[in-house]
C-alpha cells in the first residue's frame, strides 16, 4: 500500500532555477526520508527528517515537514543538469518495530542546461 505520494509526477526546469517536490502521507510516522535515483540505478539517501523536526538543510537541499498536514517538501536550489533524476519520499509507520519504509511513486525531475 502506498504511504507517500509525490507531487508533481514530473517537473521540467532550467539550470539555475529552484525545484520543489511535495510528498503527502497517510499515517503517523517516526521520520521521513528523501532519496534520489538516477535512471535505473540504486537509490541514494539525501536527507532524513524526524517527526519532531520542521525543517532541515543539506547543501542545496531544504526539506520541510508538516506533521499536522502529513506532508513534506523537498526544495533543490540553483538546480544543475546533474540533479536530473527521480526523487522519492519514504515514510516509516510508527510502532511497527522495524522500519517498514514505504516509498512513494516519485517525482521525475529534468533540469535542462
Partner 1 sequence: EAQVTQNPRYLITVTGKKLTVTCSQNMNHEYMSWYRQDPGLGLRQIYYSMNVEVTDKGDVPEGYKVSRKEKRNFPLILESPSPNQTSLYFCASSPGPYNEQFFGPGTRLTVL
Binds partner 1 by CB under 8 A, chosen from 13, 61, 75, 101:
101
Contact 20, 8 (CB under 8 A): no
User: Binding string, 49-88, against partner 1, x = CB under 8 A?
Assistant: ---------------------------------------x
C-alpha dist (Å) from residue 16 to 3, 8, 63, 84, 111: 32, 19, 19, 13, 9
List residues binding partner 1 (CB under 8 A): 1-2, 30-31, 33, 35, 40-45, 48, 88, 90, 92, 97-106
Amino acid at each position: 500500500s502506498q504511504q507517500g505520494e509525490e507531487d508533481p509526477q514530473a517537473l521540467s526546469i532550467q539550470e539555475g532555477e529552484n525545484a520543489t517536490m511535495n510528498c503527502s502521507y497517510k499515517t503517523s510516522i517516526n521520520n521521513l526520508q528523501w532519496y534520489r535515483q538516477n535512471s535505473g540505478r540504486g537509490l541514494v539517501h539525501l536527507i532524513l527528517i524526524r517527526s519532531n523536526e520542521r525543517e532541515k538543510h543539506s547543501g542545496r537541499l531544504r526539506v520541510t515537514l508538516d506533521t499536522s498536514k502529513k506532508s513534506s517538501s523537498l526544495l533543490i536550489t540553483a538546480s544543475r543538469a546533474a540533479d536530473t533524476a527521480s526523487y522519492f519520499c519514504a515514510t516509516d509507520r510508527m510502532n511497527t518495530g522495524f522500519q517498514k519504509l514505504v516509498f512513494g511513486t516519485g517525482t521525475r525531475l529534468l533540469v535542462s542546461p
